[in-house]
Amino acid sequence: MEVKKKGILILPKKLREEAGISEGDEVIVEVEKGKLIMKVLKPRVVDVNPHLAEKLVREEYELEKRGHEKMFYDGKTSSRH
């Protein structure tokens, strides 16, 4: 294979098929001991309980809200001089 202008490298169809790379896929390329290692990014499909996800988001929101209140008010009421 030849590296073209601007570092473009064209992977032959056979290599793409063997690696499971399709048009539009994203890949990560890393260098390990002087070798290029290419990994295909494939989204993982996970089964998420929507009620649990909503509960976790709500808890995170409440924690953030309390953190901001503490940061701005520091547990004190308005100060009067």
Mean pLDDT for the stretch of residues 45-61:
89
Mean pLDDT for the stretch of residues 50-62:
91
Which are the contacts of 20, defined by CB distance < 8 A and separation ≥ 6?
Answer: 40, 42
Q: According to DSSP H, which parts of 1-81 are helical? A: 13-19, 50-73
pLDDT, tens digit, for every residue of 14-52? 999 999 899 989 999 999 999 999 998 887 788 888 999
What share of the chain has pLDDT > 90, as a percent? Answer: 48
pLDDT of residue 66: 81
